[in-house]
Amino acid sequence: MSKYQAAEVENYEEHNLLLDTFLSISPCLSYILDYRTGQYIYLKSNVKCISDQFLKKMRAGGTKLFSSQCSKADMEVINNKVFKNNLILYKSLRKAENEKLRFNYNFRICINEEVYNVQQQSTFLKSDEDGLPLLSIGMCHFSLATDDFRIVHTIEKYTEAEGWKNVHSETYLPELDESNILSKREKEIVKWIIEGLNTQDIADKLNISHHTVTTHRKNILGKINAKNVYALFKYAVQAGIV
């Protein structure tokens, strides 16, 4: 961390009580992000699926590396709709009120061949003269993604009279993400299914249990909303899996 970045973190720790709240909740991934560089100037995790090696890559690659692991369909919604609405409300307020906003949304990410639902909560720390955010602090909670996934975006505002109150809420159903909705292992199983292998054959090929393959098959069909092998084959062709 550079002397400049350290000063930014130290200043925030000194003047904003939200830091302890965001960075002490467990289990989570906590961060301070510099929008000017796209780099994390603070990054900590006690989430089991986030390895030290992955954290090291995030520190080096910043938001570009993290986003590359996320669902492309989800990132399209977040970049074009969620961030846009966050910025509109943020810029409409006086600077003194900016730190009283809290932004919540979720998205999917693939880590170690598993697809997780990431629930992120953040607030902006600093903005420039044009009202554009420069620094933000946030935390992410991870859980396995479900078949009925949707992006829920809310914005909360804090007042002494009412505490945190919801001022914006919207739900999005991302377009089917043909390239990133299935994990690497699930795509491998799809290939074997299309080639005509049964569950036990696939289990033997991958050196995993019959039960594990059955679970993967169920998750695959649920994720892509396929009712039979023909629908699975159609999806695989469209997604470029086969």
Provide the 8-state DSSP code for 240.
T
Q: Domain extents for the chain?
A: 3-172, 184-239
Give residue 159's pLDDT: 86
Question: How many Å apart are CA 17 and CA 20, to the nearest integer?
Answer: 6
CATH number of 184-239: 1.10.10.10
> Any bridge partners for residue 172, and if so which?
151
Residues of the chain with pLDDT under 50: 3-4, 15-16
The 10s digit of each residue's pLDDT in 28-49 is: 898 999 999 999 998 888 898 9
Distances (CA, A) of 190 to 119, 200, 203, 210: 28, 14, 13, 15
Give residue 176's pLDDT: 57
Give residue 96's pLDDT: 60
Nearest CA to 107 out of 138, 76, 65, 63 is that of 76
> Any bridge partners for residue 169, and if so which?
154
Give residue 224's pLDDT: 76
**3-class DSSP state for residue 95?**
helix
Give residue 232's pLDDT: 86
pTM comes to: 0.68
Task: Judge: domain 3-172, CATH 3.30.450.20.
Answer: yes
Give residue 226's pLDDT: 75
Give residue 178's pLDDT: 52
Give residue 34's pLDDT: 94
